[in-house]
């Protein structure tokens, strides 16, 4: 009998994470109507008319009920892209009033969602779009970075009842003190890089120094505290150029077939990740609305068709939908467990360094001995799912039958 710990939960080929940036207490009144129009809301509308969160649920998540979404939340007054604009930005912190707090907290209490940290204001706007300084680049010292994170964490805790486990740099920009500030602030996981273009172009604008896709599309760790580093690997708009073009460019049966082929070619990137057991982490924003007259790239409104195609495509694959923390916790359990076998029994030696985990699971592949069931140390029996045993880590002896 041979026991192996699976790379991912349930022996999936790839974990699938849906990353949504910038759910915030913000409304950008692009139309100037004084009413929230569709696409102008970043979270300020809550579940009211033209709510972007409701749009996401109705147009995408209800069609793919297994998706797990991780929201990256700027907890303070999210800044406009430019300082001075005729387009009004209405923005408050997520703890500004009870109704707002309840909106954010209710989302976080649904196990399909996770709230993660994404700074306080997202940064400081200047005269022109190019002058915008991303939050971590505004810090003049490590102390300033740490203090701001502590302020942000307090707001987060006030709203959600716990501190954030993970988060992401604004604009993937760590500034001078980014990694050190995250390492010292008690984060369990973080998203530092976006490696979306690495396979196609050999480089990615916000990618790390590692140009090898086999390692850069996988989990890494950084800092003295081994913060778990989960990169972004897929842009949610990757199919737009084939789907959103007007029909003058693509019309007629032949051209529609060509379009299908082009989409299939694009999906090869996802096939590559699945084939190599790498991460599928799909990036989006909750709204396109900005105050500089431009549209925010990667938003659920412009990318809806493509996102539906992507999630349809992967739904038939051997994948694991998870949040950032669920992925990080499985990784942590996997990396810190050793199976010690003796005959038809075994124990799991698990060393945890003061890390609080909401669940401790391993997926075990047992080969030989035609094992049908595992009996856990607490007497519970576990049968196979997808050919493997998903077991809780506990002290004591695991038996096979």
Only segment of 132-140, 164-172, 240-248, 320-328 that touches Zn ion (CB under 5 A): 164-172
Q: Does 114 bind Zn ion (CB under 5 A)?
A: no
Residues 6+ apart with CB under 8 A from 339: 3, 5, 346, 347, 348, 349, 364
What's the CA gap between 364 and 366, in Å, rounded? 6
User: Closest residue (Cβ) to Zn ion?
Assistant: 21
Cβ closest to Zn ion, residue 153 vs residue 277: 153
Token digits for 18?
Answer: 């849906």
CB of 170 to Zn ion, least distance (A): 5
Cβ closest to Zn ion, residue 14 vs residue 323: 323
Q: Does 284 bind Zn ion (CB under 5 A)?
A: no
Query: Which residues inside 165-184 make contact with Zn ion, applying CB under 5 A?
Result: 170
Cβ closest to Zn ion, residue 93 vs residue 170: 170
Cβ closest to Zn ion, residue 22 vs residue 40: 22
Cβ closest to Zn ion, residue 137 vs residue 390: 137
CB of 308 to Zn ion, least distance (A): 23
Residues 6+ apart with CB under 8 A from 39: 30, 50, 52, 287, 288, 289, 299, 301
CB of 336 to Zn ion, least distance (A): 31
Which ranges constitute the DSSP H helices of 185-244?
198-201, 213-216, 240-243
Only segment of 18-26, 75-83, 172-180, 248-256 that touches Zn ion (CB under 5 A): 18-26
CB of 304 to Zn ion, least distance (A): 19
Q: Does 21 bind Zn ion (CB under 5 A)?
A: yes
Instruction: Indicate the burial class of 372 (C-beta count within 10 angstroms; 0-12, 13-18, 19 or more).
Output: exposed
CB of 284 to Zn ion, least distance (A): 11
What's the CA gap between 146 and 206, in Å, rounded? 23
Only segment of 145-153, 163-171, 342-350, 372-380 that touches Zn ion (CB under 5 A): 163-171
CB of 124 to Zn ion, least distance (A): 14
Cβ(366)–Cβ(1) below 8 Å: yes
Cβ closest to Zn ion, residue 21 vs residue 266: 21
Backbone Cα Rg of the chain:
22
How many angstroms separate the first and last alpha carbons of the chain? Answer: 12
Cβ closest to Zn ion, residue 108 vs residue 287: 287
CB of 151 to Zn ion, least distance (A): 18
Only segment of 14-22, 107-115, 147-155, 256-264 that touches Zn ion (CB under 5 A): 14-22
SS3 35: coil
Q: Does 283 bind Zn ion (CB under 5 A)?
A: no
Q: What share of the chain is helix, strand, coil (3-state, %, to 5)?
A: 30, 25, 45
Query: What DSSP state is assigned to residue 289?
Result: B
Cβ closest to Zn ion, residue 20 vs residue 319: 20
SS3 305: helix
CB of 121 to Zn ion, least distance (A): 11
Cβ closest to Zn ion, residue 21 vs residue 329: 21
Query: What DSSP state is assigned to residue 79?
Result: P
At 109, phi and psi to the nearest 5?
Answer: -80, -10
Q: Does 22 bind Zn ion (CB under 5 A)?
A: yes
Which ranges constitute the DSSP H helices of 161-292?
178-184, 198-201, 213-216, 240-243, 253-275
Which ranges constitute the DSSP H helices of 115-190?
142-160, 178-184
Cβ closest to Zn ion, residue 56 vs residue 278: 56
Only segment of 1-9, 11-19, 162-170, 308-316 that touches Zn ion (CB under 5 A): 162-170
SS3 159: helix
CB of 340 to Zn ion, least distance (A): 45
Binding site for Zn ion (CB under 5 A): 21-22, 170
């Amino acid at each position: 009998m041979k026991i192996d710990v699976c790379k991912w939960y349930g022996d999936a080929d790839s974990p699938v994470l849906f990353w949504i940036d910038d759910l915030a207490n913000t409304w950008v009144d692009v139309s100037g109507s004084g009413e929230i129009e569709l696409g102008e809301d970043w979270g300020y509308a809550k579940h009211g008319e033209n709510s972007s969160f409701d749009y996401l649920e109705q147009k995408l998540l209800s069609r793919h009920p297994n998706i797990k979404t991780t929201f990256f939340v700027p907890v303070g007054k999210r800044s406009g892209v430019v300082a001075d604009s005729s387009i009004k930005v209405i923005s408050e912190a997520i703890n500004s009033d009870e109704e707002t707090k309840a909106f954010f907290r209710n989302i976080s209490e649904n196990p399909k969602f996770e709230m993660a940290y994404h700074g306080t204001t997202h940064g400081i706007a200047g005269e022109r779009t190019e002058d915008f300084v991303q939050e971590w680049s505004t810090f003049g010292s490590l102390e300033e970075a740490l203090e701001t994170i502590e302020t942000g964490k307090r707001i987060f805790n006030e709203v959600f009842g716990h501190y954030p486990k993970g988060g992401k740099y604004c604009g993937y920009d760590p500034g001078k003190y980014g990694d050190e500030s995250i390492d010292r602030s008690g984060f369990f996981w973080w998203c530092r890089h976006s490696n979306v273009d690495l396979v196609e172009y050999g480089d990615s604008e916000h990618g790390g120094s590692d140009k090898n896709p086999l390692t850069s599309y996988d989990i890494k760790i950084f800092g003295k505290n081994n913060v778990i580093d989960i990169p972004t690997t897929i842009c949610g708009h990757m199919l737009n150029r084939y789907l959103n073009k007007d029909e003058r460019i693509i019309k007629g049966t032949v051209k529609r077939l060509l379009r299908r082929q082009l989409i299939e070619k694009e999906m090869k990137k996802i096939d590559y990740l699945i084939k190599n057991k790498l991460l599928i982490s799909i990036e989006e924003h909750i709204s396109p609305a900005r105050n500089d007259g431009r549209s925010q790239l990667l938003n659920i409104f412009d990318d809806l068709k493509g996102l539906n195609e992507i999630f349809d495509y992967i739904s038939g694959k051997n994948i694991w939908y998870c949040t950032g923390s669920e992925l990080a916790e499985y990784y942590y359990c996997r990396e810190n467990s050793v199976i010690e076998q003796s005959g038809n029994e075994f124990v799991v030696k698990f060393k945890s360094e003061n890390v609080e985990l909401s669940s401790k699971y391993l997926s075990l592949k047992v080969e030989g001995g035609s094992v049908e069931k595992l009996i856990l140390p607490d007497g519970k029996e576990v049968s196979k799912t997808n050919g493997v045993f998903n077991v809780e880590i506990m002290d004591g002896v695991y038996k096979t039958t």
